[in-house]
């Protein structure tokens, strides 16, 4: 329930602190006194959009703070899920800075507006003329029916199944689109893959081929250079090997004299061994050097093929071509296996659709069962409100479309008088009838919902006399299980409240401010008397006011 409301620097309100009790509270005041300002401030703290024009003093920030007693409403999980500190008396605060920036807090933790709005939906229902118009909305009508049917858990299950179904549908569409796109490219991809496979590419072969090409292209020059090197190494008289052998023999004679010469001898021996090995290798290489135009042509052809493929695929190496080949293989295999994947996806969609249908069927069954309960309850209350011949008909039609709340669409038909045909509620009900219908519905919902508080903003529009008294009785009855506020112009309803608050304007210097105060018994008698007869209160009006108050 709403315990405390504090307002600072909002519209005509300079500073206001008001405490509320449970049960039934009445708020009255002249037109323009500030009742709408009070609701505006409460709407602001519950997450409505901020407006810099709401600041009374443009140099000071606006602060609206509401204290809600929530211990009995099982809201702990909400606070845990949103990482908020839970308090039995939770404080929601909203600030509008002179810069236009808006801030919101829940128990002093900064939060975003959607979170404030979500929490507010669990705390209070502000019923206004706008909501009476919402009664014509099919979604709102279905919400009423679901509340009476107790479908909260079924609706959660359905939303979960619907999400799975939509995800499965999306995956199937993606595969189908992929198949269509790949199908267009399949022949070309297959051709490119065949071309790369035929090339029989191997990692590192480009460097080997280019080296082989250089060698085959310069056979004669290589042979000449190798022959010259062999001659210089192996010449009997002046060859490098013969000279090294003579040096080795000379050093061998003195190697035993000192370690120094031993070292020289060993080093020249190593050089001789190495040079012998080089000469043998050159001789072997020389034997293999053959002018082979056919081999050169094959190497040139393979290299040209590699260069052509690199240019075609915008690749810099054989390794990149091999990566492209792997990618093409994956695409070709994917097309070949996509039909199987689509078949599996279709089976998943079918299963998900069946599960969503099963919950939608349960929703429909509970709604059909709740329809007569809701219709009878509303008509019974309307009979008390001066509409004894009112009748309702809920048409619940099953469709093939998956809506956010099931597969049903609803038409709420209404007839106010005997002998008149049913028509759509939004077309045949007058403003006064809509107010009474909405009150009847709220009264019924109070038995099924756990909402802590409700505010009726001039729901008495278009009614008077005995009907107004019955309206007051109904709201009084609702206050036995929830906190009820009624902003009213009717004395019959005002007299039913357990406490009575008055909104009024007063002048302070050069400015006008709105105030709200709790009336004591004598003040309340006079206020109701003024509602009966105007500012010039007569004795009979005072007597009537006392009678209304019992």
96 and 239 housed in the same domain? no
Beta-bridge partners for 6? 17, 65
What is the pLDDT at residue 333? Answer: 67
Are residues 179 and 101 both part of a single domain?
Answer: no
The verdict on 195 and 293 lying in the same domain is yes
Q: Are residues 215 and 279 both part of a single domain?
A: yes
Residue 79: the pLDDT is 94
- Count H helices, E strands: the chain? 18, 15
The pLDDT value recorded for residue 135 is 78
CB 307 within 8 A of CB 210: no
What is the residue range of 476's domain? 1-128+452-519
Residues of the chain with pLDDT under 70: 129-133, 183-184, 218, 236-238, 288-290, 292, 333-336
Decide: helix, strand or coil at residue 61: coil
The span from the CA of 376 to the CA of 393, in Å, is 10
Q: What is the DSSP letter of 389?
A: T
Per-residue buried b or exposed e for 359-392, using 16+ beta carbons within 10 Å of the residue's own CB: bbeebbebbeebbeebbebbbebbebbbbeebbb
Structure tokens at 220: 């004669």
Q: Looking at the domain assignment, is residue 196 inside a domain?
A: yes
118 and 193 belong to one structural domain: no
What CATH number is given to the structural domain containing 6? 3.40.50.300
> Which residue, 282, 310, 338, sits at the end of a domain?
338
CA–CA distance from 78 to each of 85, 118, 119, 152 (Å)? 10, 9, 8, 16
The contacts found for 313-322 with CB under 8 angstroms, 24 or more apart, are 313/192, 317/206, 318/201, 318/202, 318/203, 318/204, 318/205, 318/206, 319/203, 321/196, 321/199, 321/201, 322/201, 322/203
The whole-number pLDDT of residue 409 equals 94
- 350 assigned to some structural domain: no
Decide if 234 is inside a domain: yes
329, 219: one domain: yes
Both tokens of 1, joined, read: 């329930």
Number of domains the chain is built from: 2
Please give the angle made by the CA atoms of 344, 346 and 347, to the nearest 5 degrees. 65
Could you tell me if 98 and 205 lie in one domain? no
Q: What is the pTM of this model?
A: 0.66
Report the candidate in 377, 489, 430, 478 with the shortest Cα–Cα distance to residue 135: 430
Residue at token pair 């509270």: 25
β partners of residue 415: 391
Q: How far apart are CA 34 and CA 28, in angstroms?
A: 10
Q: How do residues 273-288 score in pLDDT, each as one tens digit?
A: 888 888 888 887 777 6
Specify whether 71 is located in the same domain as 201: no
Give the pLDDT of residue 334: 64
**Six-digit token pair at 280?**
């043998």
Structure tokens at 459: 């729901």
Do 109 and 237 share a domain, yes or no? Answer: no
Indicate the burial class of 61 (C-beta count within 10 angstroms; 0-12, 13-18, 19 or more): middle
191 and 88 belong to one structural domain: no
pLDDT at 366: 96
Contact 546, 495 (CB under 8 A): no
Whether 379 is in a domain gets the answer no
Work out whether strand 423-424 and strand 109-111 pair parallel, antiparallel, or are unpaired: unpaired
87 and 184 in a single domain? The answer is: no
For residue 120, give the 3-state DSSP assignment: helix
Note whether 383 and 203 are within 8 A (CB): no
């Amino acid at each position: 329930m709403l315990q405390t409301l504090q307002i600072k620097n909002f519209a005509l309100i300079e500073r206001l602190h008001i405490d509320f009790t449970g049960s039934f509270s009445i708020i009255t005041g002249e037109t323009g006194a500030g009742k709408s300002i009070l609701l505006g401030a409460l709407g602001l703290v519950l997450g409505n959009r901020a407006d810099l024009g709401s600041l009374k003093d443009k140099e000071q920030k606006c602060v609206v703070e509401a204290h809600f007693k929530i211990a009995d409403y099982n809201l702990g999980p909400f606070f845990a899920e949103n990482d908020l500190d839970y308090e039995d008396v939770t404080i929601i605060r909203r600030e509008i800075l002179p810069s236009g920036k808006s801030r919101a807090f829940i128990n002093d933790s900064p939060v975003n507006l959607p979170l404030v709005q979500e929490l507010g939906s669990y705390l209070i229902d502000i019923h206004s003329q706008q909501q009476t118009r919402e009664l014509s909305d099919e979604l709102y009508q279905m919400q009423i029916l679901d509340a009476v049917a107790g479908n909260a858990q079924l609706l959660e299950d359905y939303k979960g199944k619907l999400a799975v179904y939509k995800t499965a549908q999306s995956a199937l569409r993606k595969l189908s689109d992929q198949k269509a796109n790949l199908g267009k490219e399949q022949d070309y991809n297959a051709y490119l893959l065949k071309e790369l496979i035929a090339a029989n590419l191997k990692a590192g072969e480009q460097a080997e081929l280019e080296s082989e090409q250089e060698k085959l292209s310069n056979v004669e020059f290589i042979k000449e250079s190798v022959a010259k090197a062999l001659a210089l190494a192996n010449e009997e008289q002046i060859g490098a090997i013969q000279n090294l052998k003579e040096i080795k023999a000379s050093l061998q004679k003195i190697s035993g004299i000192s370690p120094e010469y031993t070292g020289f001898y060993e080093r020249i021996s190593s050089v001789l061994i190495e040079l012998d090995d080089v000469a043998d290798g050159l001789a072997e290489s020389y034997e293999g050097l053959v002018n082979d135009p056919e081999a050169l042509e094959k190497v040139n052809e393979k290299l040209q093929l590699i260069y052509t493929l690199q240019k075609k695929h915008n690749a810099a190496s054989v390794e990149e071509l091999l990566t492209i080949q792997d990618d093409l293989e994956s695409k070709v295999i994917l097309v070949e296996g996509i039909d199987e994947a689509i078949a599996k996806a279709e089976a998943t969609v079918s299963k998900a659709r069946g599960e969503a249908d099963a919950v939608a069927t349960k929703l429909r069954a509970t709604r059909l069962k709740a329809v007569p309960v809701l219709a009878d309850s509303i008509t019974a209350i309307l009979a008390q409100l001066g509409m004894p011949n009112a009748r309702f008909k809920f048409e619940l039609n099953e469709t093939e479309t998956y809506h956010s709340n099931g597969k049903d669409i609803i038409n709420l038909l209404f007839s106010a008088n005997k002998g008149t045909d049913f028509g759509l509620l939004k077309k045949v009900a007058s403003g006064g009838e809509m107010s009474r219908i909405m009150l009847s519905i709220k009264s019924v919902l109070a038995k099924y919902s756990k909402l802590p508080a409700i505010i009726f903003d001039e729901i008495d529009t278009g009614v008077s006399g005995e009907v107004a008294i019955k309206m007051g009785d109904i709201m009084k009855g609702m206050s036995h299980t929830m906190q009820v506020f009624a902003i009213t112009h009717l004395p019959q309803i005002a007299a039913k409240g357990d406490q009575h608050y008055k909104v009024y304007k007063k002048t302070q210097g050069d400015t006008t401010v709105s105030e709200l105060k709790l009336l004591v018994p004598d003040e309340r008698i006079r206020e109701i008397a003024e509602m009966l007869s105007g500012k010039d209160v007569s004795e009979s009006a005072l007597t009537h006011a006392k009678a209304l108050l019992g």
